[in-house]
Chains A and B, each alone.
Chain A
Amino acid sequence: MKLDTRLLHAGRDRDPYTGASSVPIYQCSTFAQRDPEKFGPYDYARSDNPTREALELAIADLEGGDRGLAFASGMAATSTVLLLFQPGDHLICAEDVYGGTYRVLTTLFRQWKLEVTFVDATDLEKVCRAIRPDTRAIFVETPSNPLLKITDLTGIAALAREHKLLAITDNTFMTPVTQRPLELGFDIVVHSATKFISGHSDVIAGLAAVRGEELGRRLKRLQNSFGAILGPQDSWLTLRGLKTLGARFAAQQTTAARIAEWLQSRPEVSRVHYPGLPDHPGHDVHFRQASGAGAVVSFELAGGGDAAKALLRRVELMLMAVSLGGVESILSYPATMSHAALPRPERLARGITDGLVRLSVGLEAFEDLTADLERGFSKT
């Protein structure tokens, strides 16, 4: 089955008992057993719930993994994955990861003696040089947030395999419709399903897909023990969103590409970051591993921080908010939002300047979005 079809029919696409066209919402915590010595497939909803399971089967299928897991949030997914490691382990992490990932790594997990080295993951040499005897994994995001820097997934996977490390990536920005890291040799993929996968800015959810039965079992045990699970209602809503992921992403991506080009022509904009632009660093690498450029465009205002803030204050159609990936366009300010957790020197060192704005392109018409931006650029 083609991917567009599997979005609708992967996993459990209907209720086996009644034939209902979508999986029922099993709003229950426990399951009656017939026999005290032989339990049925479900006993307690933290461990297994049929609605959540339908979502977990779907993401495993779409990412080409052996196991899928659904969590209360993207951060819950990332935090549970990080529990695979022990005190004294070392992790290499891309330096421009999402601020929440940076936060848990430098506070909680550092406290529990997980060492982290942040590197420019777009440079395989630098990643290789950071490997130590106690290194256990490499964690990357591509395209990165918010500068959309491209990391060579095949290269990272090869390095990881050579040094017997786990290769983990956050695939939120691309989603499996465009990029499938497990098929390129990665071990674990995490998602903030809050974003493109659910797609309607109305669910907080996290997903993980794992390659390898044993690793899948280990992560399942952690999911059960730590219990940061996704509830049945939110699982069902995420599944519902998944059905239109292909159609939404395609439309949003097309508009994003047009907006990126339009922005490049504007004098108010000093730089545009978008993997679809031919001179975007890593453009060729990106199109070897992904089938599209995505729907997130970041750009820098020539007028710096003041111009960025003025733009954010003036737009009327786009939401000025945190988050991304929904059907409504969202304009964000990384300095005070997604990367607020980074101390300013750290943020600037990563190129996330005061004049940088991030646009998640939704389903609105190109003309209306550019009119809104023009309104934002105007000096009157």
Chain B
Amino acid sequence: MCAKSTTPHLETLLAQAGCGRDASTGALAMPIYQVATFQHPALGQSTGFDYSRTSNPTRLALEQTLAAAEGGVRGFAFASGMAALDCVVRLFRPGDELVLTEDLYGGTYRLLEQIVRPLGITAHYVDTSQPAQVAEALARPNVRAVLLETPSNPLLKIADIRAIAAQARARDQLVIVDNTFLTFANLRPLAMGADLAVYSASKYLGGHNDVVAGVVVAGSPELADRLAFLQNATGAILGPQDSWLLLRGLKTLPLRLERQQRNAQLLAEWLARHPRVTAVHYPGLPGHPGGALLAAEKSGCGAMISFAVASAAQAPEVLRRVRVFRFAESLGGVESLITYPCQQTHADIPAALRARLGIHDRLLRLSVGVEHIDE
């Protein structure tokens, strides 16, 4: 790494991500080690790299950058956000129970319900923005961990990570935070008491809607060792090309997010004044529950907005008519996207549960990009 002084600012760390690691050529950008295996200098000796599933120099550059950015012990890069979550889930055993944010990404719900529950691991879903519900859930005897999505998806509810972490630590429970929406540019969950930070890196970290990847950063050596074993054993690793693209994307993360958040704030205020919009959810709007928690951490409010139109028929109309916002899955990239949660990201959650959570058919979700606000 180029930085020699004490911990540099995040912008500096990321601008120089992967830089200067190739001593033999001095190449500034990280080389792409498109290679599966490595010559051993002698029997019983290794260069530190043997087989790319276990460790690859390009992926390692990415993983070390992520650990430094998150303030963790070690980072791990996976083929997708789901693969990262799968690895975390494998830390638990049949009989263990998990507490999760109830309005969470539909793919996580699908994983927990259709695959993990039959394996004997039970998930309990609560409104993690409500301290009483969290406390009650954590008090159950077999609960081993709580997995928080904050802000939640898609209603952007905020959980009090510090308070939850304090409760969990008292019970020897793990705190896992899916930090996809805010990223370490806003919040560092490990510094707030969490044990693991997970990401769909396809979103803000990659930032260009061109990579599918997942990340886990461990806050302790013990968890790091267990995750290293799991990543190697199940091999759901991120390839070198995609690792390099993610490194490249990280360089502009603070810049991108700054612009995206500024746009989102203006857009949320505009939507709140709009006659055809009945509700707007954005942590930067006055009165958004939990906004004060983010302010206390000096965190930005992210660039995700969800809003409701007056009737179900209007939602598909909005989707058809928008020209600058693209109607596509995913979020977090420089291009603005609009999605329809009840049919897309949250389609795997049963209708009755969606209704109770307020993910109804009038709700639309925006991922705000870096376009000019006027457009």
Q: Which residues of A contact B (CB under 8 A)?
A: 27-37, 43-46, 49, 71-76, 79, 83, 86-87, 100, 103-104, 107-108, 111-113, 194, 198, 201-204, 206, 222, 224-231, 233-234, 237, 309, 312-313, 319-323, 326, 330, 333, 336-337
Contacts and interface: CB of A to CB of B under 8 A. Distances in A.
Q: Shortest 10 CB-CB distances between A and B: which pairs?
A: A227-B82, A75-B235, A227-B80, A73-B235, A228-B236, A233-B241, A30-B330, A323-B37, A72-B79, A36-B319
A23 to B, nearest CB: 16
Interface string B35-46: 111111011100
24 contacts: A29-B211, A30-B328, A46-B212, A49-B212, A72-B237, A73-B53, A73-B236, A83-B115, A87-B118, A198-B36, A204-B56, A225-B107, A225-B111, A226-B83, A226-B86, A226-B236, A229-B212, A231-B211, A231-B239, A233-B241, A320-B43, A321-B37, A326-B37, A336-B44
B330 A76 contact: no
B202 to A, nearest CB: 5
B118 A228 contact: no
Given A202-B35, A204-B52, A309 B329 contact: no
Interface in B73-116: 78-83, 86, 90, 93-94, 107, 110-111, 114-115
B93 A206 contact: no
Contacts of A225: 82, 107, 110-111, 114-115
B233 interface: yes
A227 B236 CA distance: 8
Interface in B248-301: none
A321 B209 contact: no
B212 A29 contact: yes
B337 interface: yes
Given A87-B120, A330-B37, 16 more contacts: A27-B210, A29-B210, A30-B333, A31-B328, A45-B212, A46-B81, A73-B237, A75-B234, A87-B119, A107-B229, A194-B36, A202-B36, A231-B242, A313-B43, A322-B50, A326-B36
Contact of A86 (B42, B118, B233, B343): B118
Contacts of B237: 72-73, 76, 204
B287 to A, nearest CB: 30
A72 B239 contact: yes
Contacts of B90: 108
B370 interface: no
B242 A75 contact: no
A192 B120 CA distance: 30
A76 B210 contact: no
Contacts of A227: 78-83, 86, 212, 214, 236
Contacts of A49: 212
B35 to A, nearest CB: 5
Contacts, number: 207
Contacts of A337: 50
A46 B82 contact: yes
A50 to B, nearest CB: 13
Contacts of B44: 336
Given A45-B212, A227-B79, A227-B80, A32 B327 contact: yes
Given A30-B329, A204-B52, A321 B110 contact: no
B193 interface: no
B307 interface: no
A28 B236 contact: no
A49 B237 CA distance: 17
A233 B337 CA distance: 25
B233 A104 contact: yes
Interface in B211-241: 211-212, 214, 229-230, 233-239, 241
For chain B, which range describes its interface: under 10, 10 to 19, 20 to 34, or 35 or more residues?
Answer: 35 or more
Contacts of B206: 29
Q: Give the interface centre of B236, B333, B343 by most chain A CB atoms within 10 Å.
A: B236
A43 B340 CA distance: 13
A37 B202 CA distance: 24
B210 A72 contact: no
Nearest to A323: B37
Contacts of A330: 37
A292 B136 CA distance: 64
A321 B45 CA distance: 11
Contacts of B315: 36
A86 to B, nearest CB: 6
B80 A27 contact: no
A78 to B, nearest CB: 8
B34 interface: yes
Contacts of A31: 328-329
B180 to A, nearest CB: 13
A343 B311 CA distance: 65
B326 interface: yes
A44 B328 CA distance: 8
Nearest to B85: A227
Contacts of A44: 212, 329-330
A229 B80 contact: yes
Contacts of B39: 319-321
Contacts of A323: 36-37, 51
B363 to A, nearest CB: 13
A226 B82 contact: yes
B372 interface: no
A228 B320 contact: no
Nearest to A330: B37
A254 B331 CA distance: 52
A131 to B, nearest CB: 23
Given A29-B210, A29-B212, A206 B79 contact: no
Contacts of A112: 93-94, 119-120
Given A226-B86, A237-B34, A28 B316 contact: no
Contact of A333 (B35, B38, B43, B107): B43
Contacts of A37: 316, 343
B329 A43 contact: yes
Contacts of B214: 227
A379 B252 CA distance: 58
B239 A321 contact: no
B245 interface: yes
Given A29-B212, A309-B43, A313-B43, A230 B82 contact: no
Contacts of B212: 29, 44-46, 49, 227, 229, 231
B316 A36 contact: yes
B38 A321 contact: yes
A41 to B, nearest CB: 13
Nearest to A43: B329
Contacts of B80: 46, 227-229
A182 to B, nearest CB: 23
